Structure formats: structure tokens, C-alpha cells
Amino acid sequence: MLAVKRIILDVLKPHQPNALEFCQAIAKSGADYRVKLTVIEVDEKTETLEIEVTGNSIEIELIQSAITDNGGSVHSIDEVEVINESDVN
Amino acid sequence: MNFISQVKFLLRITRSDDIIRRYFVVNGFDGALTMLGLIIGFILSATVDVSIIINACLGAAIALGVSGMSSAYVSEYAERKRTLGQLEDAMISNLHDSAHGEAARGVPLLIALVNGLAPFVISLLILTPLFLSNSGIVFPLSPLYISVAIALLLIFFLGVFLGKVSGVSWLRSGMQTLVVALLTSGLIYLFIGK
């Protein structure tokens, strides 16, 4: 089974909800998700973020849904780390 | 997220909590002053049946409520739609299904509700002695005077609320709104008093 362990996204979001609320909303989409959010650029109405999510088995659709629900949009997937767990076991 | 948390969240992302507070005070004040004016008008007029006074005041209260609700909804909906459009332009995406889209639809409703209910509920509180009197309860003095006292008290409390919000002396702020109410009463007396 292929499991996504880490993912880094380039995200654009409005100023509200703020970085903390946005980060919490993403973290809520998975029980063991650890989310690191870095604000890269601040414009008049938007912010560009780098969001790093780590977890045992990340579901990208749930993260994307949390981002769009809060008004953000994923521009690109910049880094991913995937493990084939059947090989490990 | 429960309903209250969701409402707070939507108000926060649209920064609308101060608007709601402003609408509550402004229209609540409108309601209280209108009732005060009507009741003083009745006090200075020939004696009429309490049920007639209730009907006239209740009519005004309902009109104030509906006017507050509809005017706030129309203006806030237009404002929110414009703001959402600007945000969508900046994001280059459709935000209809996001929290911002939900806020653009829900917040005007909430603001309209507050703007309409504030004068209506305050009016009902002021009219309470008249309702009680009409249902047979006897007061030591005319229920109209008790209504005036309640109106002045509520206007004072609206001032106190404003004082708490702005961080200035609640007593000073309460007294300021009370002076406005007393000036209004004086003007009414001047124009229609015997």
C-alpha cells in the first residue's frame, strides 16, 4: 500500500481566516496530521503560503477540501514523500 | 463546528461583529426613542383607551422591525456580494462554496435579524406595562408613565453598553444617551404640550 507521509503545498488564501485558523482547519482533516504553515508573501487581499503536512497516511483530497472550504486554493504540490508500506512489511 | 462557533467564525472572517453591534445600538435606540415619543404624545393628548395606544405603538414597532430588517438585508447583501467579488478577483477562483461564500449569504441575514429585532424587542419591553394593564393588572400609577420610565432606563442601558464597548466611563456614556432622550421628550412637550 502506498502511503503519503509528507507533502508540501503552495497555497493562496485570503487574509481571513488567519494563518492559525487555516492551519487548524487543515490539521483537523486527519487524526495524526502535523501541519507547518509558512507565510511566503502578503498582498493586498491575499497571502501565499507554504504548507507542509506530515502524517501516517495523508489524504490529499481531504486537505484540499479543508483549504477550499476556507477560501484558499492549491497552486502546486511542491514536494511529496510516499512510502510503499507493503515493501517495508 | 457547532452553530454558534460557525456564526462566530463567519463574523470573524468578514469582520462583521462590530457592524452587528453598531446596528443593534443604532436601531435599538431608534425603537426606544420612537416608543418614548409615541407614549409622551399619548400622555399629552386626550385620554384614550390603552388598547388604542397598544395598537398604535405595536404598529410602529412592527414597522420599525420590518424596516430595519429589510433595509439592512438589502444594503448588507449588496456590500457582501461586492466584497466577495473583489476577493474572487484577487484569488482568481470561485469562492461560492467556501466559508467566504457562506458568509456572503448568511451574514446579511444575521445582520438583518439583529437590525430588525433590536427595535422590535426594545419596543415590546417598553410596552410591557401597557400589555399588563390591558390584561387587567392595576398599577399604582398610569402604565404610560411606567413605560416612559422603562424607555428612559433602556436608553440609559444602551449608552452604558456603548460605554463598555468603547472603553469610556459607562456612567458618562449612559448619561449622554439619557440626555438625548430627555431632550427629545422636551421637544415633544414644546411642540404638542398644552
* Nearest CB neighbour to A16, from listed B13, B86, B91: B13
* B99: chain A residues, CB-CB within 8 Å: 17, 69-71
Closest to B181 in 3D by CA, of B149, B146, B144: B149
Which residues on neighbouring strands pair with residue A4, listed in sequence order? A82
Q: According to the model, what pLDDT value does residue B167 have?
A: 85
Q: Is B157 exposed, middle or buried (0-12, 13-18, 19+ CB in 10 A)?
A: middle
CA distance B129 to chain A (A): 46
CA distance B100 to chain A (A): 6
C-alpha cell at A52: 507542509
- Work out how many CB contacts closer than 8 A connect A with B: 41
Tell me the pLDDT of chain A averaged across its residues. Answer: 93
Render pLDDT for A37-73 as a digit per residue (tens, 0 to 9): 999 999 999 999 999 999 999 999 999 999 999 999 9
Digits of tens for pLDDT over chain B (194 positions)? 688 888 988 998 888 888 998 899 999 999 999 999 999 999 998 888 999 999 999 999 999 999 999 999 999 999 999 999 999 999 999 999 999 999 999 999 999 999 999 999 999 999 999 999 999 888 889 999 999 999 999 999 999 998 988 888 999 999 999 999 999 999 999 998 76
Interface test with B, best of A10, A16, A24 (most B CBs within 10 A): A16
pTM: 0.83
3-state secondary structure A26-83: HHCCCCCCEEEEEEEEECCCEEEEEEEEECCCCCHHHHHHHHHHCCCEEEEEEEEEEE
Q: According to the model, what pLDDT value does residue B74 have?
A: 96
String of DSSP letters for B31-89: HHHHHHHHHHHHHHSS---HHHHHHHHHHHHHHHHHHHHHHHHHHHHHHHHHHHHHHHH
Interface test with B, best of A41, A67, A73 (most B CBs within 10 A): A73
Supply φ then ψ for residue A78, to 5 degrees.
-90, -30
How far apart (Å, rounded) are the C-alpha atoms in residues B136 and B37? 25
Q: Are B32 and B181 in contact (CB under 8 A)?
A: yes
Kindly state whether B194 is in contact with chain A, defined as any CB-CB distance less than 8 angstroms. Answer: no
ipTM confidence? 0.82
